[in-house]
Each structure stands twice: as C-alpha cells, then as structure tokens.
C-alpha cells in the first residue's frame, strides 16, 4: 500500500505548507486502521486520546511554530510489550489480561516529550516469543501482502501497522530478530540498535541480555530521527550505554557521492541449504549491484553458523525462565479462581495464563539451568556466544558492514511454522547473530520474490555504529 507520507520530513513540510495538520493526520491513520481491521494488527487504538492530543499539538503549533518538538507530526504505534502509564498492556498473554501500566517506558516518555502522537498498541507473539505473531492471546495478525500468510514476529503487528500506513513509525522489540524478520516479511524497514542504545526500562523482559527496543518505519532518516530522541543513558536501566544519542549526517543532506563501503558477506549464509533459491538470487544480484556502484565486497568464512540457533535458544530460554518467574498469580495479572492454596495459586495461574510456546520455553530454560545440565548447556552456550562475538568482531574490524539475507524464506502461510517449533526456531538463523553479539542491524526490502512476496536484506555494523549503519542504508538501499 502506498503511504500518504513517506517520511516525517514530508509530514512536517506539509504541515508547514498548511496542507495538513496533526488532527487531519490522525484522522487519516484512524481511517486506515479501520480499513485494515481484518488484518488484526491492533490490540487497542487510543482514538479519542490521539484526536485530543493532535488538537492540542495543532494549537501549540498555531501559537508558536518554533515551540513544537522534534517529532511533531509523527504518529507512532507501540508493541504490546511496552509500558505506557494508565494504558493496558498484555504482552499478548492471558497472563496479563486487564493489567494496566503504572509507569511509562523511557522510550514512551521521550517520544511524548518531543510531541509524537501514540495512536495505539499493536499485536505480537506472547511475551515476544515467536516468529509469526500467531502465538497471541488476541489471535493472529495477517500479512497485508497476502492475508493467508503471517507477517512474521514477534513484532508482526508493528510491521503490518507500518505496511498498511496506519502509522509512520512503530516501536517494537528485538531479542532475536523480532523487528527485522517481520519488516522483511512485510516489505518495510526494521532496525535493532546496538545493545544498550535504547533503555529497556518499561519493556517487558523476555531475555534481558538480548532484548533491545527496535524501530520499524519506511526510511533510515525517520528511524534515525526517532533513535536520536529515544536513545541515550537512563538512570532506570544500568545496561543503557552512557553515550549521548548518535548524531547523523545523511548523504541526501549534502548531495555528495556516497562513500564506498567495505561490505563483508559470509559465504556460508548464501550457500546454506535452508535458503530459498530465489532469495539467494535476489541477494546476490543486489550485492553485485553494490559492487558495480563502487563498493567493495569481501567474502568471509564463519564456522559457527550451525551453532547460532542452539546458542540463542539455550541462552534466551534460560533468561526467559527466570524473567517469567515473576508471573506467579500474586503480583500481576491473571490469578486462577480454582486455587485452594498458595502452591495452587502459582501452579494454576501459570498453567491457565501462559500459552503453549511460553510454557515450552520456560521448561527448556529451567532444564538448561538445572544443576545436572547447567555446564553441558548453559555454560557451553555462553562460551559459544563469546566465540561467535569474537569472530564477528574480527570481521567488522576489517569491514564497515556485514550483509546477509534477513530470512531464509518469505512469509509462510498461517500454521506452517507455528505447528513445528523446531522449524520455527531454525528460521531465525540470520537474525539471532546480531543479538548474540549486541550489534546494530537493520532489514530493508530489496526485491520481490517470484511468488509476489517482499524480500529483505540485513546489514549489520560494529558495536555503537548505529549512525554509520543508518547512513549506509540511505546510500545502499534501492
């Protein structure tokens, strides 16, 4: 679907030219939300609140155009795992049915402080665990490119919200690809910053040493503008990087010839048997095109490809099993009505509240952390994580970027992946690397599969090089 406005800059210029205002924009997006209701991307739309806020912001602008914030005119959705004070949040789980946030996530506060409008919360997999947005207490979200197919996950609602022009930006979360994979499946752009770049305060935890808030949108400039507002140190998150938000200079702003980049690609990622041949072809053609533009391609080897998924799932399920222990029927959300004693409160509340996939991960995580198996699984996976990160660091010490497919296949039909958890886990092969290493990564569209579905590519950069990565995408995207 072609959007009314392709970028925040276009929105702000239209407002300055009096062609639109925040109220008209909100009406436009609300209209599109209603028209795309069958895709089930939205869990809750804050219609009245968004209309009232738009009116206030229009008034603020009318009084003094210079007084408005950097994100004036930006209409945003948030994934249903990000706290917004006084608003419900469910993590797409029955476990948090009816729960209301007592405070706002740092990212929400910073968006609002710069005059963004939050128009609603969008669907995802339960506790952000999944790759299809089918594991949701609110039912599956469908892909607008083909409603028989999933939008990817876990931030599937975010990707569809951008895809269908129901907001310009969506804030998601990415533990192992949840922002990039749905972006690739839906033909939009999904960015996961360096670990710690955006505070995780107010993000419902899945696997804390992997989790990062991510941004879905249509252009690297928009993502950069949002990142420069929401990034930066935060006293509520000790893992937030101490550096100020990155500063950007896009080549479109200085109209120069783009710098040639040195781009590594791991040969094993392209020859992997799980990779769809048409995606391989599109990726190779795209990379060849970059070479013709004067960029340097550097083939590299990486021996650990087959260890990525095992390391990721051992470590994330371990962290998930401890993070989710807080949902005990006492402190938050669902409490079983059948329970006759304390132990039953814990047991029955969790049995009734959590879905299958979440239970599977809690059990896996508890197993790999158990006394008899800790060394064989958890400690081993930690070592694998270190070796993997060292090798990628070596590659990125020598090259500016690391390119690889975003996904091995295009968006599957509903039920295809969710009915086979191992197949679902394996499909994360290209995205988990960035989270294992804490690196910034982005997926963006580079073509259309012969079946008619979007195909994305993924670029990764060294730690902290978020600005360099987004600037590169501006130069390298089609």
> Does residue 131 interact with ligand GLN by CB under 6 A?
yes
Choice between 54 and 92, CB closer to ligand GLN: 92
Choice between 176 and 405, CB closer to ligand GLN: 176
> Does residue 196 interact with ligand GLN by CB under 6 A?
no
Closest approach of ligand GLN to the CB of residue 310, in Å: 13
**Residue 172, beta-bridge partner list:** 214
> Does residue 154 interact with ligand GLN by CB under 6 A?
yes
> Does residue 412 interact with ligand GLN by CB under 6 A?
no
**79 classed as catalytic:** yes
Annotated active-site residue in 104, 178, 228, 321: 178
**94 classed as catalytic:** no
Closest approach of ligand GLN to the CB of residue 134, in Å: 12
Query: How far is Cα 456 from Cα 80, in angstroms, rounded to an integer?
Result: 25
By Cβ distance, which residue is nearest to ligand GLN?
Answer: 178
> Does residue 408 interact with ligand GLN by CB under 6 A?
no
> Does residue 178 interact with ligand GLN by CB under 6 A?
yes
Closest approach of ligand GLN to the CB of residue 417, in Å: 10
> Does residue 409 interact with ligand GLN by CB under 6 A?
no
> Does residue 157 interact with ligand GLN by CB under 6 A?
no
Choice between 175 and 228, CB closer to ligand GLN: 175
Choice between 402 and 436, CB closer to ligand GLN: 436
Select the residue interacting with ligand GLN from 22, 30, 129, 429 (CB under 6 A): 129
Which x/- pattern, by CB under 6 A, does the window 9-48 give for ligand GLN?
----------------------------------------
Choice between 40 and 154, CB closer to ligand GLN: 154
Annotated active-site residue in 23, 36, 77, 79: 79
> Does residue 428 interact with ligand GLN by CB under 6 A?
yes
Q: Taking a C-beta distance cutoff of 8 angstroms, is the pair 172, 107 a contact?
A: no
Closest approach of ligand GLN to the CB of residue 357, in Å: 8
> Does residue 175 interact with ligand GLN by CB under 6 A?
yes
Q: Which residue has the tokens 């929401």?
A: 230
Cα distances from 267 to residues 259, 270, 298, 373, 403, in angstroms, run 24, 5, 10, 34, 10
Select the residue interacting with ligand GLN from 206, 248, 327, 430 (CB under 6 A): 206
Rounded to the nearest 10°, the torsion over CA 223, 228, 229, 233 is: 130
- E strand or H helix at 115: none
Annotated active-site residue in 77, 90, 154, 199: 154
Query: How far is Cα 317 from Cα 324, in angstroms, rounded to an integer?
Result: 10
Segment contacting ligand GLN by CB under 6 A, of 45-53, 87-95, 172-180, 228-236: 172-180
Query: How far is Cα 99 from Cα 84, in angstroms, rounded to an integer?
Result: 11
> Does residue 172 interact with ligand GLN by CB under 6 A?
no
Closest approach of ligand GLN to the CB of residue 178, in Å: 3
- Contacts (CB under 6 A) with ligand GLN, residues 296-325: 316
Question: By three-state DSSP, how is residue 35 classified?
Answer: helix
Pairing state between β 189-192 and 401-405:
unpaired
Segment contacting ligand GLN by CB under 6 A, of 10-18, 86-94, 124-132, 396-404: 124-132
> Does residue 174 interact with ligand GLN by CB under 6 A?
yes
Cβ-based neighbours of 89, under 8 Å, separated by 6 or more: 80, 81, 82, 83, 96, 99, 100, 101, 121, 204
Q: Taking a C-beta distance cutoff of 8 angstroms, is the pair 453, 411 a contact?
A: yes
Segment contacting ligand GLN by CB under 6 A, of 109-117, 168-176, 297-305, 462-470: 168-176
Which chain residues interact with ligand GLN by CB under 6 A?
Answer: 128-131, 154, 173-178, 206, 316, 428
* Catalytic residue annotation: 79, 154, 178
């Amino acid at each position: 679907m072609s959007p009314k406005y392709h970028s925040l800059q276009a929105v702000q210029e239209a407002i300055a030219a009096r062609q639109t205002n925040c109220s008209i924009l909100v009406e436009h997006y609300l209209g599109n939300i209603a028209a795309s209701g069958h895709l089930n991307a939205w869990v809750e739309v804050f219609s009245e609140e968004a209309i009232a806020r738009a009116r206030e912001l229009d008034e603020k602008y009318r009084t003094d155009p210079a007084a408005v914030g950097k994100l004036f005119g930006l209409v945003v959705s948030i994934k249903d795992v990000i706290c917004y004070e006084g608003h419900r949040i469910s993590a797409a789980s029955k476990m948090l049915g009816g729960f209301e946030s007592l405070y706002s996530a740092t990212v929400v506060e910073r968006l609002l402080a710069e005059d963004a409008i939050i128009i609603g919360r969008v669907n995802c997999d339960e506790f952000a665990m999944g790759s299809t947005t089918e594991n949701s207490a609110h039912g599956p979200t469908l892909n607008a490119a083909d409603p028989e197919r999933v939008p990817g996950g876990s931030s599937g609602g975010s990707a569809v919200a951008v895809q269908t022009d129901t907001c310009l930006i969506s804030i998601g979360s990415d533990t192992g690809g949840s922002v990039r994979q749905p972006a690739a499946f839906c033909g939009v752009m999904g960015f996961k910053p360096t670990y710690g770049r955006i505070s995780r305060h107010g993000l419902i935890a899945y696997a804390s040493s992997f989790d990062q808030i991510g941004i879905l949108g249509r252009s690297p400039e928009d993502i950069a503008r949002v990142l420069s507002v929401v990034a930066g140190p935060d006293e509520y998150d000790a893992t937030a990087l101490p550096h100020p938000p990155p500063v950007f200079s896009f080549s479109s702003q200085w109209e120069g010839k783009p710098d040639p980049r040195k781009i590594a690609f791991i040969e094993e990622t392209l020859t992997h048997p799980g990779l769809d041949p048409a995606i391989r072809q599109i990726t190779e053609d795209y990379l060849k095109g970059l070479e013709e533009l004067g960029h340097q391609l550097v083939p590299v080897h990486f021996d650990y490809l087959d260890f990525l998924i095992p390391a990721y799932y051992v470590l994330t399920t371990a962290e998930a099993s401890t993070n989710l222990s807080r949902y005990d029927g006492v402190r938050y959300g669902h409490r079983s009505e059948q329970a006759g004693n304390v132990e039953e409160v814990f047991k029955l509340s969790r049995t009734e509240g959590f879905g299958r996939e979440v239970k599977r991960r809690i059990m896996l995580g508890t197993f790999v952390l158990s006394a008899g198996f800790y060394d064989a699984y958890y400690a081993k996976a930690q070592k694998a994580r270190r070796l993997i990160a060292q090798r990628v660091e070596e590659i990125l010490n020598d090259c500016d970027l690391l390119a690889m497919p975003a996904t091995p296949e295009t968006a599957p039909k509903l039920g295809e992946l969710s009915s086979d958890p191992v197949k679902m886990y394996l499909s994360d092969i290209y995205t988990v690397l960035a989270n294992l290493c804490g690196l910034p990564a982005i997926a963006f569209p580079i073509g259309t599969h012969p079946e008619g579905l979007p195909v994305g590519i993924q670029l990764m950069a060294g730690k902290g090089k978020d600005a360099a990565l987004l600037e590169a995408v501006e130069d390298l995207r089609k």
